Structures are given as C-alpha cells and as structure tokens.
A = this chain, B = another copy of it.
Amino acid sequence: MTSTEHVEGHPRKIDPDALFERLDDYMTRKGLRSTSQRRVIAETFFDSPKHVTIDELLAAVREREPRIGYATVYRTLKLFAECGIAAERNFGDGQTRYELSEEATDHHHDHLICNQCGRIIEFHDDRIEKLQEQVAKELGFDISSHKHEIYGDCNRTECVAEGRRKAPRR
C-alpha cells in the first residue's frame, strides 16, 4: 500500500439517495423548492461521467426533458455547488466543468491532464496534502479548498496516435 492512489475520470459508485437527501435538506433550509427540473438535472448529473460541461449535461438532460433551458442548467449547477454536492472545475479550455464534490464522494483528489488527448486522471497523495497544509499553516492561512493540476503527455500509444484533437487550450 502506498500513499498515492489514482483513478480514471469516470463515475464512481456513489449513493444517489444520500445526495438527493443532502440537496433536499439544503433546499428546505434555504426555502427553495423541489421542482421536476431540479430532480431531472440532479439524476442526470449523478449519472454523468465526471467533469461534465454544461453543454454535455444539457444535452443529456434534454434526452429526458427536451424543454429544459440553458439557464436552468446553469442556475441548478450553481445551486448544487452551493449545497456542496458539486464542485466547479476549470481546466483552461474556457468551459466550466462540474463533478461530484469531494464531500459527496468522500474522496478528495486532484488532476493530471493530458495535453494531447485531454484525458483526465485523478490522483491523490496524502504526503502532498499534508505538506500543503503545513505550507498554509506557516503562512497563517486556513485552507478552504485547493486545486492541483498537472499537465503533461500521457504517452499511451492511442494518445500519441490520436494527436491533438481534444487538447485543452494551453
């Protein structure tokens, strides 16, 4: 067993019920309403591959409910982020992406992004986490979140073959 773990960027087995509950609690607390749109968007989001863009999510949502609008998806994902079940990510390609938050998955991770094929791999290293806490402490900071992204070439044969198709803007 090492202190580093990693995983490909795809949906992890989570318990949707717990997430719905968390969302409902938040909405009740804030006097917000449970609507069919919010339910559909939540279901779709929980089923989505990680790091979805609003466009991708909207397309998936519209397969179930074609009349749902752009703005609703934007607003709903902001809500999910506020309530703590979703996290906003920005990998420099100009589109905000969303994934389940670390509280929701009980699993903090950072990202390795391939410049060539755009593949996103998650990693987690306790030693790095500890050191970063130490750095912040020395400077008197209370950490609320962090972002650690490593960009590079993943060197898979498929990737080298594929070339630059999906590479994020760098």
The digit string for A22-51, where 1 denotes a CB below 8 A from any CB of B, is: 000000000000000000000000000000
Name A128's contact: one of B121, B132, B139, B151 (CB within 8 Å). Answer: B132
* Residues on the B chain within 8 Å of A132, using CB: 125, 128, 148, 150
Task: Spot the interface stretch: A11-19, A66-74, A152-160.
Answer: A152-160
Let me know if B155 and A135 touch, CB within 8 A: no
Let me know if A144 and B139 touch, CB within 8 A: no
Name A143's contact: one of B123, B134, B150 (CB within 8 Å). Answer: B150
* Residues on the B chain within 8 Å of A151, using CB: 143-147
Please give the count of copies of this chain that the complex contains.
Answer: 2
Cα A135 to Cα B125 in complex, Å, equals: 8
* Residues on the B chain within 8 Å of A21, using CB: none
Let me know if A155 and B136 touch, CB within 8 A: no
Let me know if B143 and A155 touch, CB within 8 A: no
